[in-house]
Amino acid sequence: MTDFITVADVDQALGQGWAGDGDAVLAVAMANAWLTAKIKRAVPEVVPDAIKSAGAQVAKLAAAGKLYRDTDREVQSKSVSAQAGTSTSKTYVAGSVERSSAENFALDLIAPWTRRQGTVILKRV
């Protein structure tokens, strides 16, 4: 796991008390794990501000217990009928995951580092 951010970085970005009742050190560790899993390209020695901002947003989510959550099985289809002629149904796309606005914002901030660099051409010899 790469250490992209520290507690001091998050304190500077979000101010003191950003973790609320959560564990700030654990939240930053979770944010670094999340960033490490998402970033696919080499990052400069000095971590860019966009990655630090994304890490701060994700650390705040982690401190609130909203980053790594228990997951239920994906619902493919669900139908409910209360009376004859009235019903509701729900269908989820397989593999869909609900994300918070802060997580979407963080993904957009690190977008330049989440795509693989360049094109690889395979040549049969």
pLDDT in tens, 36-74: 989 988 888 999 999 999 999 999 999 998 887 765 556
Q: Is residue 55 part of a domain?
A: yes
Q: Is residue 86 part of a domain?
A: no
Provide the domain count of the chain. 1
pLDDT of residue 119: 66
Q: How far is CA 42 from the centre of its chain?
A: 19
* Rounded-to-integer distance, Cα 28 and Cα 58, Å: 8
3-state secondary structure (DSSP) of residue 113: helix
* Rounded-to-integer distance, Cα 80 and Cα 96, Å: 21
pLDDT of residue 116: 67
Query: Range with the lowest mean pLDDT among 10-19, 25-34, 86-95?
Result: 86-95
pTM: predicted TM-score of the whole model, two decimal places: 0.69
Q: Is residue 53 part of a domain?
A: yes
Q: Is residue 87 part of a domain?
A: no
3-state secondary structure (DSSP) of residue 118: coil
pLDDT of residue 15: 94
Q: Is residue 52 part of a domain?
A: yes
pLDDT of residue 14: 94
Q: Is residue 89 part of a domain?
A: no
pLDDT category of residue 87 using cuts at 50, 70 and 90: confident
pLDDT of residue 20: 92
Map tokens 């794990």 to a residue.
33
Q: Is residue 78 part of a domain?
A: no
Average pLDDT of span 86-109 = 73
pLDDT mean across residues, the chain = 83
pLDDT of residue 97: 67
Instruction: Note down the domain range covering 39.
Output: 7-73+100-114
Q: Is residue 107 part of a domain?
A: yes
Residue 30, CB half-sphere, CA atoms under 13 Å: how many? Answer: 21
